[in-house]
Structure 1
C-alpha cells in the first residue's frame, strides 16, 4: 500500500542548556510533525517550551520523542530497564511535554521512541509493552510512530492504540526491513541525492534498495528527516520539494 500524501517528521529540541544540536526554527518551516526530545536523551524544560511554541505557531504537530534515561549517550546506548520503571518513565516524558504543548495552545499528538529504545522495541515484546503501557498511563489514546511490523506496533494494536508506520530516507535497511545498526559501516546514507531519491521511492512506490542491492517493501505513512546530520535543513527542503514535484502531498498524519 502507498499513499498520495506523506508526513515529514524530524527529531527536534535535541539540545541541553546552552548547547543546541538541531536547527529547530528552520526545520519547523519544512516538516509537518515534530518529534520533541522530552529530557531523557536530550532537551530540557526551556527547550521543550520553545519548540512547542514554535511548532504550535506554525501548525506543526507535536510528538513526544521518548527515550531511555541516557543524556550522556544521547539515548543510543541499549539499556536493560525493568518494564514497570520504563512504563513510568514513558508516561513521565509524555506528561512533561504535554504541559508545554498545552501552554502553546496545542497538544501532544503522538509518541515516537528514540534511538536505542526505538530499535529495541522492534523485536523486544516486553519493552514494547512497557512503552505502550506508558502511553496508556499518560492518558488518551495517542498514535504510536514506529517501524512497520515491529513488536511495538503489535502491542499498540492489541491495546487499541493507533499505529503510524515510518521510514527513513537517510538510513540503510536490512533485507528484513529493519534499520542497519548505526555502529555498522554504511548505516547512514550521506549522499543527498540518494536520500532524496530513496525518500520519493518510498513515498510513491513503497520500496527502496538495501545496501546489498535488494529491493525491500517499506510502506510508510511518515518519513523521518534527521535533524542532527550536516546540512539537515537544506536536505529536508530538497526532499520536500521533490516529493511535491512528484505529486506527493506533504501533510501531517493526524
Structure 2
C-alpha cells in the first residue's frame, strides 16, 4: 500500500489503459477519482471493481475537447473529494487515432489536439493550487512520438507535443519536489485496438515489432505508472519512459 493516504486523478479512467492505471493506483492505496467522457456504465463498473477489491474510487463525468473542460473537471474533482487536493495526476484521456494527411480535416485536427494536448495543459494549470508538494504528474504519451506512422501522423504529433510539455512542466514543478514524466506505450490490447488485433495476421505483426515478442497489456503500462507514482520514482523527472516492450529496436 505504498500510496496510502494519497489522492489520485486518472483522466479517461473507465476503460483500457486508464482503467488498469486506476485499478493499480487504488490497489497500491490511493483514493482514486477517475474521469470519463461518455461511457457511464464502464466508469461505474471500474469503480465497483476497485471497491470490491477493498480500494476507494469515484467516477466523474468530464469530457474533453471544448474550452473550459479542465475547469469543469477540477470542479467535479473538488466536489468528489471535498477539496482534499491531489497528489498524483495521470493525464490518460485521449483520442487514439487520426486520419492520414490527405483525409485529415481542420476540424479533426483541432479536435485531436484539443483532447490530447490542450486538455492536459490546462488540467496541469488547474492543478497548481491543488497539487501537493512531492506529488506526481504522469502524461500518457505513445511510442508514435518517436516512430513514424504517417497514417496517423496528427495523433503522433499530439504525443510529441505532450512529451515536450512534460519536459517543461518538470522544470516548473521541480522546486516543489514534484516529478513530471511521460509514459509511452506501444501497441496495447484494449477495446480501441480489439478489432484490429482480432485479425490474426495483424496480431502476429503487432507482437513481432516488440523485442519481447508479444502485444502489450494495460497492466504492463499501469505497472510503469505505479512505479513513477511511488516513492521509488522520486528521482525520475522530465523523462519519456518507453513502455513499448522494445518496439522499433
Same-fold call, TM cutoff 0.5 = no
Q: Which structure is higher in helix share?
A: 2
TM norm structure 2: 0.39
Higher relative contact order (CA 8 A, sep 6+): 1
